[in-house]
A and B are shown apart, each in its own frame.
Chain A
C-alpha cells in the first residue's frame, strides 16, 4: 500500500497530506496513530518507535501523546460536550483546568457545554472533537479529512481554529485532505500517489 514513504513533521509545523482516493493517505495516518501496524519500516514519535510498540503501548501513545480528529467527529454520543472535551485529558491524567477553559473560550463552546453531540451541528461537533484532541496537549495532532462533512465556510472556520490552537500548543499537525484549497493554508503540502510521495 505504502512504499518508501519518508516524512517528518516538526514541532509547531502543519503539514497537509493530499492525494487521490486510495493513494494511502488515511493508511499512513492510521499507521502513525498506531491504529494499524506496518509490515515494515519505522515510525518514530519523538523518542518512541511507534512501529515497535505492542497494542497496549500504542494505546498509551494515543492517550498521552497524540490527538486524533476524524471526518465523522466520533464524539461519544452519551456524554455531554463538557464531558467529551475533558475525556481524553482525564484518562491520560493530564487535565489542565486553565488550558481547558482557554480551549472552551477559543472554540466558542461555552454555551454548548451542557448539550449532547446529537444536539450540535456538524461544525460544532468538529470543534468539540478538536478540543478533545488538544485537551491533553499532544505532541502531534492527526486529522483525517476533518472538514469532509462540513460546508466551505464552516470548514474554513474549523481549520482556522485548529491552526491557531496548534500554534498555541506548539505541537505538530498532520492533516489528510482532498481539498487543495485547504491544504494550501498549511505550512507544507505532501502529495501521495499510489503509496509513494510524489
Chain B
C-alpha cells in the first residue's frame, strides 16, 4: 500500500509542476460531466413530470377497458362487470369551456377507484363525502386555478350548468378538472355513459370479458411508456444528442491533455520502471490517479451541471409546453441516481479518453528512449489508418441514410457523418497545408507551412472539437432558420381570418354572431370547432373547417385530389395532417374510420396538409359535418374576416359589448406574434446548448495551444537565434493558428449543411412527422465563420502574448545542455 502511495505521489508531482496541464484535464472533465449531467437532469425532471401526469387517475400506466367502436359506452357494462368480479372503476372524460378556455374534465367514481391508480388525491377517506354529495367538489391543480383567475370555493359555469366549488389539489396536472362521474355526466350531457373502465389489481378470479360484455369492449394493457413520453421522445433525444456531443467535445480536451501528459511523463515512467516498478503496478497507479482526478472533476462537474440545468429549465419547460402541452414544474429536483450516474460518467469518460495512453503505458518498452521522430512516423501511419476509418464510417452513414427507417437510425447517420468528418479532418488539413507549403517561395513562408503541419498532431483533437461544434451550429442553425421561414409562410395560410374569437358559451357565441351579422365591416363569420377522437390507438383531433373561400384560398395543402374542397362539403371526405399521414402511412385516396359518438365515421382522404408544432395527428372535415357527427362540439369559436382598418375598432367594440378579455379575442397580428414568440422560445434551449458546445470547443483549442506552447520552444528558439524578434515569432504563431482554424471552419461549412439536410430530411420526419424544405442562409454561414475565427483568436491570444513577452533566458535554455 505504501509503495502504491509513493508511486502515486510521484505521478501526481507531475501535475504540481504542470498546473496548466492539470487545469486542462480538469476543465475537460468538468465541462464534459457538467453538460452531460445538465441535460440528463432536464430529461429526468421532464420524465418525472410525465410519470406524475400518467399516474393521475390512471393514464396509460393503468390497464383499462374502452369501447370497441365508440368514444363512450353505457354505464350498465360497468355494473355487469363489477357483478362478475371485475375490479373496474368507471371514468368519463371530455372537454369543457370555462370563461372561453378549454379544460379536460375527468369524472371519477372514488369508491371503486383502484388504490394503485395513484394520485387520487383528496378523494381519500376524509373528503370523500364532500366530493360525492351535492354540490360536490371540482378538484383542480394550483396552475389551473390561476388560469381561471378564480379563488378556491368559486363555482364557475360551463355548458349552462353551475359547476361544483373548486378545490385545489396540489398533485393534479394543470388543465385537468376532476369531479364525481355523476356530475361529469351532467356537464358533458352524457347521461349513463362512461369513457373507460380502469382495472384494479385483484387476486379473485373473474369471468371472461367476452362472457360479460360481448364484443362491446376491448382491453388496453398498461404501457411501459406514457403518451407524453412517446410524444416527447424526439425532444429528449435531441437534448441527449447535444449532451452527448458536448460530452465528447469535453473528452477530446481530456484525451489531448492526458496524451500530452503521457508523452511528457515518458521519461519519468521509464525511470520508475528502471527503479523496479512493475508494468502492472505502474498501470494500476496510473488508473488510480486518473480515477481520483475524475472523481474530483466529476463532483465539480455535477454542481456545474445542476446550475446549467436550473438555468435551462424554464426554456425547456416552455418548449415542452409549446410543442407537446407537457407541464414541467419549474423547480429542479434530482434523484440520487443522477449524482451517482454523473460521477460514473466522469470516471468512465476519463478512462475512455485515457485508454490509448494507458495501453501505450502497458506496452511501453522499458529501454526505449523518447523518440519524437519515430513518434511522428507513427503519427503518419495513424493518419492513413484514420482516413481509411473515416471513409468506412462515411460508407456506414450512407448505408444508414439509404436503408435506415427510424429516429435512432437518423441520429446514427448524423453521428457517423460527424465521426467520419472528425477522423478525416487531420488529412484534409495536411493536404491543405501541404498545398500551401508547395506554393511558398520564401524561406520563412516555407517554414510557416511546414511548422503548421508539424503542429497538427498536437492540435488535431482540439480542431476536431471545433469542427464538430461548428458543423452542429451550422446544421442546427440552418434547420431552425429553414423551419422559421417555412413556419411563417405556413402561419400566414393557417391564420387567414383577421380576428379570432372564443365566446364563454355556445349561447354567448349565438348572441355574438347575431350582433356581428349587422356589422357592415364584417365580411364573413367563420365558425370553428374541434373534437377529440382516436385513430390507430393514438389520440387525434378532428377539426371542422367551414366551407369558405378564406380556407379554400389559404389553407396550406401539401397534396390533394382534384376538387378537394368541393368534395369536402358533403362530410364523407377529409384532409389529414402530414404527421398523421406519415405515421399511419396514409395517402390521398385512402379511407379511414374515425370513432364518433354515434359510431365510426368513414372518411375518404382527399388532401394532406402541414400542421407544424402539433404533436397530435389531426383530421380536418367540413365544419357542419363535424357538428353533426360530434354533437357535443363546443360552438363558441369563430374567425372573422374584417376590413383591415376596421379590425381594432371591432375588437374594442366586441370586448366592450360582450365583456371579452384578451384571452378570448385576438387579431391576426397578435396571434402571429404570439406564435412566433412560442416558436423562438422553443429553440432557445437549442441555441443555448449550441453556444455551450462552441464554448467548450473554444476551451479545447485554448488548452491545446497552452499545453503545446512549451513544447513549441525548441522549434521557435532557433528562429529567434537567427534574428527573428519575439514579437514577429508571436505574430507568426497567431497567423498559423488562425490559418489552421480557417481551414477547419471552411471544412465545417459543407459538413454543417449536410448535417442540416439530415436533420430536415431524416431526423425531423421521424421525430415530428413533417419534412421541411432546405434553405441555405449565407449570412448565417459568414457569421459562424467569424465566430470561429474569433474563438481561435481568443484561444491563441494567451499563449501568443506569453511568447511575445518571453524572457530571452527561457529561449537560451533550449540550447543549453542542462535543460
Say if A and B assemble together.
yes
**Which residues of A are interface residues toward B (Cβ below 8 A)?**
30, 33, 35-36, 55-56, 59-64, 66, 68, 70, 72, 74-79, 83, 87-88, 90-93, 116, 118, 120-122, 132, 149
In whole Å, how far is B714's beta carbon from the nearest beta carbon of chain A?
A: 15
Write the chain A residue with the least CB distance to B280.
Answer: A56
Name the contact of A74 in the complex, choosing from B6, B10, B274, B276 (C-beta under 8 A). Answer: B274
- From B13, B279, B819, give the contact of A79 (CB < 8 A): B13
Q: In the complex, A96 Cα to B267 Cα: how many Å?
A: 27
Q: Are A122 and B817 in contact (CB under 8 A)?
A: yes
Asked if B359 is at the interface of the complex by the 8 Å CB criterion, the answer is: no
Contacting residues, chain B, for A90 (C-beta < 8 A): 2-3, 6
- Given the contacts A60-B276, A149-B817, A93 and B2 also touching, CB distance less than 8 Å: yes
Using A35-B367, A36-B367, A90-B6 as known contacts, say yes or no to A59 and B13 having CB atoms under 8 A apart. no
Q: CA–CA, A147 to B623, complex, Å? A: 101
B494 at the interface (CB under 8 A from A): no
Contacts of A36 in B (CB 8 A): 367
- Flag if B275 contacts A78 (CB, 8 Å): no
Q: A35-B274, A59-B276, A63-B275 are in contact. Are A76 and B6 (CB under 8 A)?
A: no
Is the CB–CB distance between B17 and A78 below 8 Å? yes
Which partner residue on chain B sits nearest A120 by CB separation?
Answer: B818
Extra 8 A-B pairs, beta carbons < 8 Å, given A33-B274, A116-B17? A56-B278, A59-B277, A68-B274, A70-B274, A78-B17, A79-B10, A93-B2, A120-B818
Q: Is B16 interfacial (CB 8 A cutoff)?
A: yes
Q: Is the CB of A88 within 8 A of B817?
A: no
**B230 → A minimal CB distance (Å):** 55
Nearest-neighbour CB distance to chain A for B696, whole angstroms, equals: 29
B23 within 8 A of A: no
**Cβ–Cβ < 8 Å partners of B817 in chain A:** 122, 149
* Contact A91/B3 with A35-B367, A59-B276, A63-B276 known, Cβ cut-off 8 Å: yes
Cβ contact of A118, chosen from B16, B273, B278, B819, cutoff 8 A: B819
Q: Please name 12 pairs of A and B residues whose Cβ atoms are closer than 8 Å in the assembled complex, sorted by A.
A: A55-B278, A56-B278, A59-B281, A76-B268, A77-B17, A78-B18, A83-B13, A87-B6, A90-B6, A91-B3, A91-B275, A132-B275
From known contacts A36-B367, A76-B10, A91-B3, infer whether A59 and B270 are also in contact, taking CB-CB under 8 Å.
no
Contact indicator B276/A78 (Cβ below 8 Å): no
Q: Is B13 within 8 A of A68, CB to CB?
A: no
- Assess the B818–A121 pair: CB atoms within 8 A: yes
Is there an interface contact between B268 and A77, defined as CB atoms closer than 8 Å?
yes
- Which A residues are in CB contact (< 8 Å) with B17? 77-78, 116
Give the contacting residue for A92; candidates B9, B274, B276, B280; CB below 8 A: B276
Q: Which residue of chain B is the closest to A33 with respect to CB atoms?
A: B274
A132 CB, min distance to chain B CBs, angstroms: 8
Chain B residues in the interface with A (C-beta under 8 A): 2-3, 6-7, 9-10, 13-14, 16-18, 267-268, 270-281, 366-367, 369, 817-819
Residues of chain B within 8 A (CB-CB) of A56 are 278-280
| B270 partner residues in chain A, CB cutoff 8 A | 74
B residues less than 8 Å from A64 (CB atoms): 276
Residues A63 and B277 in contact in the complex (CB < 8 Å), given A78-B16, A93-B3:
yes
- B7 close to A91 (CB less than 8 A): yes
A-side contacts of B280, CB under 8 Å:
56
Q: What chain B residues lie within 8 Å of A55 (beta carbons)?
A: 278-279
**Pairs A-B, 9 closest by C-beta atoms:** A63-B276, A59-B278, A62-B276, A78-B13, A78-B17, A56-B278, A78-B14, A74-B271, A88-B275
B761 to chain A, nearest CB (A): 54
Rounded to whole angstroms, the CA-CA distance of A87 and B277 in the bound complex is: 11
Roughly how many angstroms separate A76 CA and B277 CA in the complex, as a whole number?
14
**A197 CA to B271 CA in the complex, in Å?**
29
Asked whether, in the complex, the Cβ of B6 is within 8 Å of the Cβ of A68, the reply is no
**Which residues of chain B come closer than 8 Å to A63, judged between CB atoms?**
275-277
Which residues of chain B are within 8 angstroms of A118 by Cβ–Cβ distance?
818-819
Query: Nearest B residue to A36 by beta-carbon distance?
Result: B367
Q: How far is the CA of A78 from the CA of B272 in the complex (A)?
A: 13
In the bound assembly, the distance between CA atoms of A138 and B125 in angstroms comes to 84
Query: Is B276's CB under 8 angstroms from A76's CB?
Result: no
Q: Is the CB of B818 within 8 A of A91?
A: no
Chain A nearest CB, measured from B236 CB (Å): 45
Chain B residues positioned under 8 Å from A75 (CB to CB): 271
- Which chain A positions have C-beta within 8 A of B10? 76, 78-79, 83, 87
A30 and B366 alpha carbons, distance in the complex (Å): 10
Contact A74 B267 (CB under 8 A): yes
Q: Which residues of B contact A62 (CB under 8 A)?
A: 274-276
Bound form: Cα–Cα A56–B817 in Å: 35
Residues of A within 8 A of B278 (CB): 55-56, 59-60
Bound: A149/B280 CA distance, A = 33
In the complex, are the beta carbons of B6 and A91 less than 8 A apart? yes
- Tell me the complex Cα distance, A172–B310, Å: 68
Q: Residue on A with the closest CB to B15?
A: A78
* CB proximity of A77 to chain B, nearest CB, Å: 7
Closest B residue by C-beta to A124 = B818
Give the chain B neighbours of A116 by CB distance below 8 A: 17
Contact among B18, B274, B818 for A122, CB-based, below 8 A: B818
A72 to B367: give the CA distance in the assembly, Å.
13
Question: How many angstroms between the C-alpha atoms of A83 and B672 in the bound complex?
Answer: 73
- The complex places the Cα of A64 from the Cα of B275 at a distance, in Å, of 9
In angstroms, how far is the closest chain B Cβ from the Cβ of A1? 13
Closest-CB distance, B86 to chain A (whole angstroms): 70
Closest to B13 in A: A78
Q: Tell me how far the C-beta of B293 lies from the nearest C-beta in chain A, rounded to whole angstroms.
A: 15
Chain A residues whose CB sits within 8 angstroms of the CB of B16 once the complex forms: 78
How many angstroms between the C-alpha atoms of A94 and B6 in the bound complex? 13
Interface centre among B7, B276, B367, B819 (most CB of A within 10 A): B276
In the bound complex, how far is the Cα of B13 from the Cα of A132, in angstroms?
17
Question: In the complex, what residues of B have CB within 8 A of residue A92's CB?
Answer: 276
Q: Which residue of A lies closest to B274 (CB)?
A: A68
A118–B2 Cα distance when bound, in Å, is 28
The docked-state distance in angstroms from the alpha carbon of A122 to that of B13 is 22
User: B606 → chain A, closest Cβ, in Å?
Assistant: 78
- Find chain B residues with CB under 8 A from A61 CB: 276
Chain A min CB distance to B261 (Å): 11
Minimum CB–CB distance for B268 against chain A, Å = 5
- Expressed in whole angstroms, the minimum distance between the Cβ of B260 and any Cβ of chain A is 15
Name which residue of chain A comes closest to B271, CB basis.
A74
Chain B residues, CB < 8 A from A132 = 275
| Bound: A33/B6 CA distance, A | 22
Q: How far does the Cβ of B304 sit from chain A's closest Cβ, in whole Å?
A: 29
Output the nearest chain A residue to B819 by Cβ-Cβ distance: A118
Report the nearest A residue to B275, measured CB to CB. A88
Q: How far is the CA of A36 from the CA of B365 in the complex (A)?
A: 9
The distance from the CB of A71 to the nearest CB of chain B, in whole angstroms, is: 11
Which residues from chain A contact B272 at a C-beta distance below 8 Å?
76
A50 → chain B, closest Cβ, in Å? Answer: 13
Q: Nearest chain B CB to A144's CB is how many angstroms away?
A: 10
Structural contact, B268 and A68, CB atoms closer than 8 A: no
Q: Across the interface, do B13 and A91 meet the contact criterion of CB distance under 8 Å?
A: no
A62 nearest CB neighbor, chain B only: B276
Contact partners of B273 in chain A: CB under 8 A: 59
Q: Cβ of A76 and Cβ of B13 under 8 Å apart?
A: yes
Chain B minimum-CB-distance residue to A79: B13
Q: Once bound together, how far apart are the Cα atoms of A64 and B278, in whole Å?
A: 12
**Cβ contacts under 8 Å, A93 to chain B:** 2-3
- Nearest to B264 among chain A residues (CB) is A77
Quick check: A76 and B366 within 8 Å, CB to CB? no
Interfacial chain A residues near B369, Cβ < 8 Å: 72
- Bound-state CA distance A78–B267 (Å) is 11
Pair B275/A68 contact, Cβ less than 8 Å: yes
Instruction: Tell me whether A59 and B279 are in contact (CB under 8 A).
Output: yes
Q: Give Cα A132–Cα B274 distance, bound, in whole angstroms.
A: 12
Q: How far is the CA of A76 from the CA of B14 in the complex (A)?
A: 9
**How distant is A79 from chain B, measured CB to nearest CB, in Å?**
5
